[in-house]
Amino acid sequence: MSRKSFWQLLYLESLGLNEVILPEGVKTKAQALEEVRRQVLRCTRCDLHKTKTHYVFGSGNPYADLMFVGEAPGAEEDKKGKPFVGRAGQLLDRLLQEVGLNRETDLYITNVLKCRPPRNRDPEPGEIQACFPYLKAQIQILRPRLLVALGRFAAWTLYGMQKKMSLLRMQVQQSKFGIPLVVTYHPAAALRREALTDEMRRDFQLMVQTLEQLRQSS
């Protein structure tokens, strides 16, 4: 898929697709997220709902300044209905601890896709298109100071077009939502290539520095 077509893919309004209905009259972010989660639990926008065990919506602190976005649930996430609870999630937790962050209190974490692709294959364009309104609603509700993309599909979705990871990493990008974006590798990739763990550490240092700067400037 070309960069142009990927960019166009994410403008769901121009494609005539229905938006997620953002809840009105709720008092808290947590309540608003719960309303969107209920929509996810009824979702049949793509065929992944037929093969999944559980929808995987997201977890963490909805009031945190930091929001992580991965690509799609894996086997353990599909079993438990929570994001990043397998080996990749364990590595992510260790890297967060190294920079003094706790997943449950210091960030909110979700995926582009809310259902596991069979055999953990890459997300397909139509699946990203179908799930994007849910991610958009989560971001609109949470309004984090900083977004962090884990992996290229998350990076492309948040950035708005395809671009090499080497050109997106180690500098703060502007997401298509108007929120600063830090891009790093998916921890599953670091499990396959140990050298990427140190690359992720560098990205996490940038993340922490950027978040502090954003807090100081507000």
Nearest to 108 by CA among 152, 71, 144, 157: 144
The pLDDT value recorded for residue 218 is: 76
15 pLDDT higher than 80: no
The pLDDT tens digits for 40-82 are: 999 999 999 999 999 999 999 999 999 999 999 999 999 999 9
Query: Which residues, other chains included, contact 90 with Cβ-Cβ below 8 Å and sequence gap of 6+?
Result: none
Strand pairing of 180-184 and 66-70? unpaired
The pLDDT value recorded for residue 17 is: 39
25 pLDDT higher than 70: no
- Return d(Cα 67, Cα 60) in angstroms, integer: 9
The pLDDT value recorded for residue 141 is: 95
Mean pLDDT, all residues of the chain: 90
In terms of pLDDT, which residue wins out, 154 or 3?
Answer: 154
20 pLDDT higher than 90: no
Domain 3-217 has CATH 3.40.470.10: yes
Residue 114 contacts residue 56 (beta carbons within 8 Å): yes
210 pLDDT higher than 60: yes
Of the ranges 8-12, 21-25, 30-34, 97-101, which one carries the lowest mean pLDDT score? 8-12
The pLDDT tens digits for 115-167 are: 999 999 999 999 999 999 999 999 999 999 999 999 999 999 999 999 999 99
Q: Which stretches of the chain are DSSP H helices?
A: 3-9, 29-40, 48-51, 75-80, 87-98, 103-106, 125-142, 152-159, 165-168, 187-192, 195-217
- Which pTM was predicted? 0.90
In terms of pLDDT, which residue wins out, 29 or 4?
Answer: 29
24 pLDDT higher than 90: no
Of the ranges 18-22, 38-42, 97-101, 157-161, which one carries the lowest mean pLDDT score? 18-22
The pLDDT value recorded for residue 26 is: 62
